[in-house]
Each structure stands twice: as C-alpha cells, then as structure tokens.
Structure 1
C-alpha cells in the first residue's frame, strides 16, 4: 500500500530516483504562455527545480509536498531565505525574492482554489490506481474553470507494482476530461539503458496539455 509513510520513508532513506536535478526540458518546451502573475499549482513537488524555473518566468508558484526533508533540501540547496507559518495541519514556507511558496503537508488536506494552471510531472504517476481518481478530482477542484494543465505520464510493459506507476493512455481523458491532448511522447527504453536493464521494451513518457 502506498501511504504517506511510504513517501516519508523514501525521502528519509534517500530513495528518490524520481528527483531530477535540472529543469525538465519538457516543461521548458511545452509550458503554455500564460499572463505574468498567473498562479501555478505543483502537486507533490518534492524538491523540483522546475518550481524555480516557473517562478523566474514571472508566475506565482505554490508547491505542495508532504516530506519536510524534501522541503528543507529544496530551500537549502537553492539558498533561499523564507518565512514559515502554520495554517491548520499545513506549514506554509514563503520564499523571499521569488513568487514561490512551498506548502508542507498532505496534499489532500490542501484546500486553496482558483489556481490558473497545474504542472504535474511526477504526482499522478505516484498515485496507485485506487487513489488516482481522487487525486485528479482534488486537483481539478483547486483550479479555475479555464485553467491550463501540463501533465507528464508514463506507460510501460511488465508488472511493476511500485511508483512511478504505469497509466493506460485511454484513462487520461477519462480522468482529466476530453479536452486534454497528448502533444508528445518518447519511448525511453530506446534511449536510456536503465529501462532495458529493468526488463522494459516499452517505457513511454507522454506529455499532455489542457489549454482551454
């Protein structure tokens, strides 16, 4: 069972192979042009530097992350000064000098709304199938009716039973709505030896965008 404790343990033991050091090139290539000051939600953000890139484009960025270790490492690695205050079960870390906040706590307890866009690189694929619909519904409820979404999903062969999970392509529009479009895909098993070594002949990373 994938629980909050599972992820806290992964961070505690440094088992964070899902973390990418640089800015995701697919974010840079496919992020929609939005008005400066648009409020961007980054669920299950970890310590992703994608948030720095989004903030530097002039967007207001809110990441949500359950692991205090991830939050501390993100703020420390980027040498960011910040203030912290508590709101119920959540800690809000507001960065100085960048339009960026990290909300520390359970994403399902995060209730702010009216976000103009959502960036999901590694959140939905972290959700087991039993929680996936709840995650998408909770996320959509955080967004405005005209919000943009940039989503990265994975589909691979084999019976791997741990994150990142494989998601059937046809389920994406069923979960996010028929307006979401696949705009790029790449079979990483053809270009990255680690996936072949894991026994995959297909390890497809797809980029989806909803842009009303």
Structure 2
C-alpha cells in the first residue's frame, strides 16, 4: 500500500529511482507561456532540478514535498541557503536568493490558493487509482481559474508495478477535463535503455497541457 510511510522509507533507504539529476527536457520544451512573476506550484517535488529551472525563469516557485530528507538534499545539492518557518501542519523552507520555497508536509495538508500554473512530473503517477480523483480535485482548488498546467504521465501494459503507476489517456481527460491536450508522447522502451528488458509491449511517457494561450 502506498502511504506516507512508504515514501519516507523510500527516501531513507535511497530507493529514489524516480529522481533525475538533470532538468526534464519535456519541461524546457513544452512549458506554457506564463508571465514572469507568476506563482507556480510543483506537487510532490522531491529534490528535482526542475524547481531551479522554473525559478530561474523568473517564477515564484512553490514545491510541496513530504520527505524532510528530500528537502535538505535539494538545498544542499544546489548550495542554496534558506530559512524555515512552521505554519500549521507544514514547514516552509524559503531560499534566500531565489524566488523558491519548498513546503514540507503532506500535500493534502497544503491549502494555499491562487497559483497561476502547475507542473506535475511525478505526482499524478505516484497516486494509486483510488486517490487520483482526490489529488486532482485538491490541486484544482490550489489553482486560479485560468491557470496553466504541464502534466507528464506514464502508461504501460502488463502487471501494475507502480509507483510510478500507469495512468491511461482516458483517465487523464476524465480527471482534468476537456481543456487538457496531449502535446507529445514517447515509448521509453524504444529510446531509454533503463526500460529495455521489461516484460511489456509499451511504456509510454506522455506530455499534457492546459493553457489559456
């Protein structure tokens, strides 16, 4: 069962195969046109370099992450000084020299609103099927009515091995609604040796956007 304890143990034991040291190329290629200074939400952010990329574009970036180890490693790996304050059930860690902060705690305890955009590379695919509707509803409640979204999902055949879980196209449109559009996809079995040898016929990564442009 995928619980908070499951994720905390994954970080404690170093079993974080979902982490990538480099900035996600889909983010660089397909990030929607969002005005500088916009508030960007990154759910279940881990210690992703994508946070830095977004902050360096001039956005006010808020990542939300359960694991205190991930938070400490993010700031340490990137030589960033920061300060921390407790607000309710979460801790807020703010970088001193970048418009970037990480909220440490359960994403469902995070209740700020008014975000102009959301970047989800690893959150929806981390949710078991029974929690996806709750996750998307909670995320929508954090966003402004005209917010943009960049979402990356995985879909694969065969036995469910997640997380990351397989999320099929029809599920994405049911969850996010008629405004979401597929903008790219790639079968990782064909292009990434890390996935070759899996007993599957496809392992597809898909990029989705909601944009007001």
TM range (shorter): over 0.9
Which 5+ residue runs of structure 2 have no aligned equivalent?
none
1:123 deviates by: 0.4
Partner secondary structure for residue 46 of structure 2: coil
CA distance in 2, matches of 1:82, 1:183: 36
Partner of 2:102: 102
When the two structures are superposed, what TM-score results if normalisation uses the length of structure 2?
0.98
1:196 deviates by: 2.6
Task: Tell whether 2:32 aligns with 1:32.
Answer: yes
CA distance in 1, matches of 2:164, 2:106: 19
Task: Tell whether 2:142 aligns with 1:122.
Answer: no
1:188 deviates by: 0.6
The 5 A counterparts of 1:28-177 are: 28-177=28-177
Partner of 2:21: 21
CA distance in 2, matches of 1:48, 1:182: 23
1:194 deviates by: 2.8
1:193 deviates by: 2.7
Which 5+ residue runs of structure 1 have no aligned equivalent?
none
1:161 deviates by: 3.3
- RMSD between superposed Cα atoms in Å: 0.7
When the two structures are superposed, what TM-score results if normalisation uses the length of structure 1?
0.98
1:173 deviates by: 1.1
Size of the aligned set, in residue pairs, is 212
Partner of 1:185: 185
Deviation sequence 1:77-132 (CA, Å, 0-9, x none): 00111110000110000101100010000000000000000000000000000100
Task: Tell whether 2:10 aligns with 1:7.
Answer: no
CA distance in 2, matches of 1:200, 1:189: 8
Task: Tell whether 2:165 aligns with 1:201.
Answer: no
CA distance in 1, matches of 2:37, 2:199: 44
CA distance in 2, matches of 1:193, 1:28: 22
Partner secondary structure for residue 196 of structure 2: helix
Partner secondary structure for residue 194 of structure 1: coil
CA distance in 2, matches of 1:54, 1:193: 28
Partner secondary structure for residue 135 of structure 2: helix
